[in-house]
Amino acid sequence: MNGTAEPVLPETRLQEDGRVAGKRIRAPVLSPADPLVREGVLELAGGMALHHGGRLTRVCLAWRLVGPHNAPVVCALGGISASRRVCAGAEGWWAEIAGAERPLDTHRLRILSFDYLGGSGESSGPRDGESFPSVSTYDQAELLLRLLNHLGIKALRAIAGGSYGGMVALAFAERYPERAGRLLVLCAADRPHPLATAWRSVQREIVRMALASGRAAEGLRLARALAMSTYRSSEELGARFAGPPVLESGRFVFPVERYLLARGGDYAARHRAESFLCLSESIDLHRVDADRIFVPTIAVAVREDQLVPMADVRGMVARLGAGRFLEISSIYGHDAFLKESQQLSGAFAAALESN
């Protein structure tokens, strides 16, 4: 599919009765200082052919746009657990970055995001016990293109993507370069490192075994706990959890064990095991051709990132048509893109400059 604009389809709006695409939601209560919020669910007529084969006969894409009318639009995309709710607030996953007077300032910009295809949000994805075809970052990029056409947005000021979102940003820039002014790619590269794939492969096998035994939530809890140990740095875990274990119910429980399993439990309560399998696999299927990406790109690597080695990001930047490499250090490791608003403020400022 090329970048030619499609007809703008009728939009599913937030109605006065609080319904979006047939689902009742709580209508927001806004003060005069709050940014304008639009959201809806786009249904793709005719479905969608997928990059890795197969076809979805019905595709729904849940989206959200926050910020002043007619302001430049930045698409913000995060990891596989991120949702369309980006901005500061109770549910905003990028609260350190997106919101009033933050690097993605909702007083000056419109922040666009969507629930990933295959995920646990309101976009199309597997339901409990259902299989779902393999999803590519190119598929997510095509959905973003369809969404821009639907909303009548000719081009984005930038795409800011962290982790899986950075991969989607790269796929979009390769396929639809005229629709994005710049990229800010955080903790992501043109392909996954085999060591990271090894860790995720074990996580997926845990979840598959749990699904087969009827214990999906327990398996997802363990898989996410293992994943958390790869997101953060050894320095952070050493500083926070060096204390002694506690004897409970006849066995020792270690401080880091308690933390990881608690985070895994929180995740399992909010996400589906089948969606985790789909999007975790999508990370490891990710491959883009950096030699074909000419959109100006700032790529940020974190020295302590266990999942995306700095050398991989540096190598990708050398192949980009207009790439710039930035390096930071953070105890948060791979999760630095969620936490380091001060260190990343300069990168955001550079990425958001007018073309």
Catalytic residue among 81, 124, 334, 335: 334
Contact 272, 158 (CB under 8 A): no
Is residue 335 part of the annotated active site? The answer reads: no
Contact 60, 43 (CB under 8 A): yes
Report the C-alpha gap between 12 and 298 in whole angstroms. Answer: 34
Catalytic residue among 305, 312, 330, 335: 305
Instruction: Tell me the two tokens of residue 168.
Output: 């989607």
Report the C-alpha gap between 242 and 200 in whole angstroms. Answer: 26
Residue 84 backbone phi and psi in degrees, to 5: -70, -10
Report the C-alpha gap between 352 and 180 in whole angstroms. Answer: 11
Contact 39, 61 (CB under 8 A): no
**All residues at 6 or more sequence positions from 159 whose CB lies less than 8 Å from its CB, including other chains:** 74, 75, 76, 77, 168, 169, 172, 173, 180, 182, 183, 184
Report the C-alpha gap between 132 and 94 in whole angstroms. Answer: 28
Residue 261 backbone phi and psi in degrees, to 5: -70, -30
Closest CA to 286 of 206, 200, 228, 355: 200
Is residue 163 part of the annotated active site? The answer reads: yes
Catalytic residue among 113, 124, 163, 280: 163
Is residue 305 part of the annotated active site? The answer reads: yes
DSSP annotation string for 143-179: HHHHHHHHHT---BSEEEEETHHHHHHHHHHHH-GGG
Q: Catalytic positions, please?
A: 163, 305, 334
